[in-house]
Structure 1
């Protein structure tokens, strides 16, 4: 596929916050390839393997975590980017990094931190992603953070669209390294966002079916899934049910990917340059109008039947309690913090509270439960519902 004139060009990158002179030192890579590799080699990325995707602290090895979800998003994103002639490395970097700011226990943990931080600016996982990559994850001797390119940071900040009121964590980075928050991001960032939707729309169905939280008969209430299922049954009538269900998921992903490629290709056919992408009034890389409607129905179904399932809500409440108790413990007695975190603990607020939140946000589910047990002598039972 020839390179699109709308693709981000690593040779024309707007640069990095801190000047570097490492040309050729670690192999012949483009700027975006360096970004992707820095993300993959980061500690924050490795921690995603033990952070909740949908099911909290699952006992089974077959359920998705934030890490496996991010890898699946990256695979889908690269396919779409390749077909549209966009920069695959930038797309992959954005897909791999998009969930790094999630605290333990997913959205349940985020709610607990947001409540605890209410008087100190709150907590937002997307802004925490930027903060983690630009400030907290610091393996280099000469600057803070991973020093990722402008294109990666702005894509992570705005993959869901322009931002008029940035969270404090994002505002701090934007002040130091302006990210043009009022503009639309690159097409690569837009592709990363829709790849995320495609991945969790379908893989959460897969995990929900495996856990028994949703049933096939429930799914078939959605017309476009029922159409896919009839096709699967017709083509693979004698196959075992579990294989048919996996074929259904694959078919759904293929349907969505092909729709995004066709719809996006049509929308960008009259767009002249990247500046026009950024100054537009809407996302260009997205579903067609028809499939967008069906996808919204699917999301409503998933909230009703899976995300807000009684067992999920009960488990999330216990998870929120773990994070809330940890925040209270560290706030009341800094001696509970590890030595290196205690040594850098600010005296004044809101910096003190934000430092504690940074520590908790970086935890895995397992480590958070271990710390709760260590501090309080107990941790809530029933933190895994599968």
Structure 2
């Protein structure tokens, strides 16, 4: 299969709800060639359906986004977002933004639904703990784990291994374009193009063959246009909704955003984490003031039906503001489109990126940095570390049947350890605690 990207090979491929979109034949190829089952159904529609019906996507319902499900704010139960609801909301944002720019909407939605599938229990905290455990077998990164799930671990399609003769999984067997669109960091561990010490990477060493197939002919280290749309949709969704959840749960007081001392703490969180380290805090102050000046901004919140409706309008206004700015700036730079694959770069005005970053920093400062959250995170790290140690000592006991078989077939200790990492990453918050309790006989103080 020739994946070389040649603009001369672009042709109208796969009609969408917005008319024919220019994707070449190689974009819709699959690692394992399949016959079309339903004529008239596009390859990208099939991709979307496979992700929607996957167990890995369903498991995100049991993984925390920011506010832990079941906890209460000052006066009400806010039913906060999980990784699943975040992914669904990200997909809605991405589908509409992608369609407005000329991308295939099913392709962008597939990428958005897939982008967090590799997250382990306890979110980024669990990711760090698993990375420590996996330091001698290639580390752990949620985005690399997503690729591994999509191409290896999620049971959907099996092929006969030419060397062993055994059936091996090729995951969901998505199209090349769908896997590329779900790849935020198109490089292996330690190969970040600007920061070799970065913890962000998109593929493990033993998944390089399929990664290289996905990236055949793609410009080195460059994400495709659909992946950029997915990435910005992710930023928009979680910045706005984490802020909304923080208000619902009673952790964020909008009045504090007017206090100079509080604002300086917010800038301290944002600079270097959400905006470049050389950003002038005044730019962030201006960004927050622009938001505070909008007539729909939630200057107070008491949990009443009216307040909830006003907050929901504010979240809608923010999402529209951030997406429309990117849409307009990108069209201004490249024309009306359609814009796909490696034919354009998503343009997001710096002012809008600053506004999005301020919302992230507010949620970080008032939700994630609460003292009780650090106590909970410490407990979560203990759970992951002790669970990893217990599985190491007892495996294949304690492994689910799928991972038990992979562990038994693994050729060496490094491969066996990767299976343990895969097993832990597949757990939800609750099932991680249950398995930890079963294997260690201890109780945890966290929830």
Q: TM-score range by the shorter chain?
A: 0.7 to 0.9
Of 156, 165, 176, 1:150 maps to: 176
Specify the alignment match of 2:439 in structure 1.
Answer: 375
Residue by residue, what CA displacement relative to the aligned partner does 1:141-177 show, whole Å, maximum 9, x if unpaired?
A: 43521111111111222x3577782758444333242
CA distance in 2, matches of 1:231, 1:305: 18
Task: State whether residues 151 and 172 of structure 2, in contact with CA within 8 Å, keep that contact through their aligned partners in structure 1.
Answer: yes
Counterpart in 2 of 1:91?
108
Equivalent residue, structure 2, for 1:259: 325
- Partner of residue 79 from structure 2, selected from 62, 70, 76: 62
> Following the alignment from structure 2 to structure 1, what is the Cα–Cα distance between the partners of residues 23 and 95?
16
Q: Please point out which of 193, 207, 211 is paired with 1:173.
A: 207
Structure 2 residue runs without a partner (length 5+): 1-15, 72-76, 160-168, 193-200, 264-287
Secondary structure in 2 matching 1:76: helix
Q: Which residue is 1:13 aligned to?
A: 27
Q: Which has the higher helix share?
A: 1
RMSD (Å) for aligned C-alpha atoms: 2.9
| Partner residue of 2:359 out of 298, 309, 322 | 298
Question: Matches of 2:309 and 2:28 in 1, distance apart?
Answer: 47
User: Is 1:186 paired with 2:198?
Assistant: no
Q: Which residue of 1 aligns with 2:237?
A: 199
Q: Is the 8 A contact 2:236 2:356 kept in 1?
A: no
Distance 1:378 1:276, change over 3 A: closer
Q: Hey, what does 1:361 align to over in structure 2?
A: 425
Give the 5 Å matches for 1:264-275.
264-269=330-335
In the superposition, relative to structure 1, how do residues 138 and 61 fare at CA in structure 2: closer, same or farther (>3 Å)?
Answer: farther
Matches for 1:303-314 after TM superposition, within 5 Å: 303-314=364-375
Counterparts of 2:17 and 2:170 in 1: how far apart (Å)? 37
1:324 deviation in Å? Answer: 1.3
**Pairwise CA distance, 1:323:** 1.3
What's the TM-score, normalizing by structure 1?
Answer: 0.86
Aligned to 2:246: 208
Q: Tell me how far apart the structure 2 counterparts of residues 325 and 134 of structure 1 sit (CA, whole Å).
A: 29
Contact 1:191 1:286 in 2 (8 A): no
Q: 1:258 to 1:274 in 2, by over 3 A?
A: closer
Aligned to 2:276: none
Q: Which residue of 1 aligns with 2:164?
A: none
Structure scoring higher RCO (CA < 8 A, sep ≥ 6) equals 1
- The answer to whether the aligner puts 1:352 opposite 2:416 as a matched pair is yes
1:46 corresponding residue in structure 2: 58
- Offset from partner CA, 1:101-146 (integer Å, 9 cap, x none): 0001111111110111112211000000000110011223435211
Aligned length: 370
In the TM superposition, residue 336 of structure 1 has moved relative to its aligned partner by 2.4
Structure 2 SS opposite 1:120: coil
Contact 2:62 2:429 in 1 (8 A): yes
Provide closer, same or farther for how the CA distance between residues 276 and 246 of structure 1 changes in structure 2, counting only shifts above 3 A.
closer
Q: Which 5+ residue runs of structure 1 have no aligned equivalent?
A: 279-283
Compared with structure 1, are the counterparts of its residues 165 and 3 closer, same or farther at alpha carbon in structure 2 (3 Å cutoff)?
Answer: farther
Cα 1:36–1:2 change in 2 (3 A) is: closer
Give the Å deviation of 1:90: 0.4
